[in-house]
């Protein structure tokens, strides 16, 4: 219901603002801009879905190989004790745990194109276990919120953009983003655990989380000792070596177990096309609503209003020009990326605003995109408290990103 009301609100707010501009400011082009936005974003939604088809076909095919070869089951057993506690409604040692782990791993490595089809695979498997098909189950909500929190160990794409925009040290946002996403993901986990009455003080959960924090700490320690110009190269190489090693491991184990690898790939790949088609109406609906909200000027009003409020409260407002990235991030990943690049172009890649925008871009994932794609792919209509938890995790992520920027760059 929350998503329903929000979707309606985007259109109504855009209409009221556009009508006000037309009547009082004689802005005769405003409604044309809104209508144009609906067509442009409908086209964009279709193109995104079409673009995902190839990637989903590839990775769902590889996941089928992994299932037949048994590597997904091995992964599921490895993380089973931890996942059994944060996903208590899923059967123990179910293959879905392997898909969930692969999705989280791809996100942490900054491999968005690989993470999405793996996430859709996990969501489909959870849907098969969901007793109420149009209502999000507890495991689906936990999975989605952890995705929206967007834990990223290596924000390689942001480093690349900073390099392209002429940053003297493109990797200087590495540790701030890592710390930000850790806090955001941990907060999302706590929030959903409260809703679902999950005991996070269980010794197994504490052991897994402690190990994860230790490994991430070692990564930070190692990279901090490397020359700055080498960090992005190391990150990129390691990410892609790990990714291709996973592909080879899937194929090799299946081959050793006498699986017809090619046929398994084709069977899984066929599922990818169907998933991509199912996403189109959900994605178009969300992108069109976001587009009219932005085209009406509502987003700019919110940002300017927030700047005025912070100024009245006596806060430093130097970060305010980066806020459009924060407001756009839950709505549109490409929109937020464009605003980040615009901030770096306007103020400079090494400016405080440019660094704040980079930290915000890496702080969380695109909540409404993930909601539309993941829930839309399995026909979920009642999202329950997913939106609330996802947006609160976003708020914590953005707030932490701004704090980290002041801590590291001021």
**285-341 pLDDT, tens digit each:** 877 887 898 899 987 888 788 888 888 988 888 898 898 888 878 877 766 777 788
Q: Is 192 helix (H, G, I), strand (E, B) or coil?
A: helix
Label residue 272 exposed, middle or buried (CB < 10 Å: 0-12, 13-18, 19+). buried
**Which range marks the domain in which residue 48 is found?**
1-409
Residue 382: strand pairing partners: 135
Q: Using CA atoms, how far apart are residues 72 and 70, in angstroms rounded to an integer?
A: 5
- Which residues in the chain come in under a pLDDT of 70? 1-3, 52, 72, 109-114, 153-154, 156-157, 223-224, 228-229, 231-232, 235-236, 239, 275, 334-335
Structure-token pair, residue 189 = 């986990």
What is this structure's pTM?
Answer: 0.74
CB contact at 8 A, 394 and 362: no
Nearest to 150 by CA among 120, 115, 98, 198: 115
CA distance readout (Å), 13 to 325, 326, 336? 20, 19, 21
Q: What is the DSSP string of 355-378?
A: HHHHHHHTTS--HHHHIIIIIHHT
Q: Please report the pLDDT score of residue 88 as a whole number.
A: 93
Residue 172 DSSP symbol: T
CA distance 360 to 313: 22
**Which tens digits make up the pLDDT trace of 27-78?**
999 999 999 999 988 887 787 777 767 777 887 788 788 878 887 677 777 7
Give which of 42, 40, 46, 27 is closest to 296, Cα–Cα. Answer: 27
Are the CB atoms for 376 and 282 separated by under 8 Å? yes
Cα 49 to chain centroid distance, Å, stands at: 16
Please tell me whether residue 292 adopts helix, strand or coil conformation: helix
b/e string for 174-187 if b means 16 or more Cβ within 10 A? bebbbbbbbbbbbb
For 363, the token pair is 């702080």
Yes or no: say if 362 and 171 are a contact pair by the CB < 8 Å rule. Answer: no
Helix (H) or strand (E) holding 389: helix 386-409
Residue whose C-alpha is closest to residue 365's, from 339, 391, 400: 391
pLDDT at 236: 64
Query: Number of folded domains in the chain?
Result: 1
| 61 close to 265: Cβ distance less than 8 angstroms | yes
Q: What is the pLDDT of residue 85?
A: 92
């Amino acid at each position: 219901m929350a998503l329903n009301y929000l979707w309606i609100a985007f259109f109504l707010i855009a209409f009221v603002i556009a009508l006000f501009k037309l009547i009082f400011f004689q802005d005769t082009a405003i409604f044309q801009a809104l209508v144009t936005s609906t067509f442009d974003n409908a086209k964009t939604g279709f193109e995104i879905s079409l673009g995902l088809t190839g990637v989903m076909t590839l990775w769902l095919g590889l996941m089928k190989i992994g299932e037949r070869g048994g590597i997904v089951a091995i992964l599921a057993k490895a993380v089973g004790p931890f996942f059994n506690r944060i996903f208590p409604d899923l059967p123990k040692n179910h293959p879905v745990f392997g898909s969930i782990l692969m999705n989280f791993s791809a996100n942490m490595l900054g491999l968005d194109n690989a993470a999405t089809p793996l996430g859709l695979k996990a969501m489909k498997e959870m849907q098969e276990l969901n007793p109420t098909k149009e209502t999000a189950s507890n495991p689906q909500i936990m999975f989605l919120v952890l995705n929206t929190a967007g834990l990223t160990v290596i924000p390689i794409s942001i480093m690349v953009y900073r390099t392209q925009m002429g940053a003297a040290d493109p990797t200087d946002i590495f540790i701030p983003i890592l710390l930000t996403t850790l806090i955001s993901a941990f907060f999302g986990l706590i929030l959903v655990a409260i809703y679902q009455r999950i005991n996070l003080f269980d010794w197994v959960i504490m052991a897994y989380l402690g190990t994860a924090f230790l490994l991430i700490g070692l990564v930070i320690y190692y990279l901090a000792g490397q020359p700055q110009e080498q960090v992005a190269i190391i990150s990129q190489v390691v990410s892609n070596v790990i990714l291709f090693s996973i592909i080879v491991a899937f194929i090799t184990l299946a081959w050793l177990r006498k699986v017809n690898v090619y046929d398994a790939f084709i069977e899984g790949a066929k599922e990818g096309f169907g998933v991509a088609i199912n996403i189109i109406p959900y994605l178009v609906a969300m992108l069109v609503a976001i587009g009219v909200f932005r085209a009406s000027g509502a987003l700019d009003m919110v940002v300017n209003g927030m700047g005025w409020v912070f100024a009245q409260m006596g806060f430093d407002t130097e970060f305010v020009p980066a806020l459009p990235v924060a407001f756009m991030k839950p709505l549109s990943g490409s929109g937020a990326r464009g605003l980040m690049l615009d901030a770096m172009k306007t103020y400079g890649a090494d400016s405080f605003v440019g660094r704040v925008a980079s930290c915000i871009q890496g702080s969380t994932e695109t909540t409404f995109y993930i909601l539309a794609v993941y829930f839309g792919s399995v026909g979920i209509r009642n999202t329950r408290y997913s939106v609330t938890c996802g947006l609160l995790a976003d708020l914590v992520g953005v707030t932490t990103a701004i704090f980290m920027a002041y801590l590291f760059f001021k």
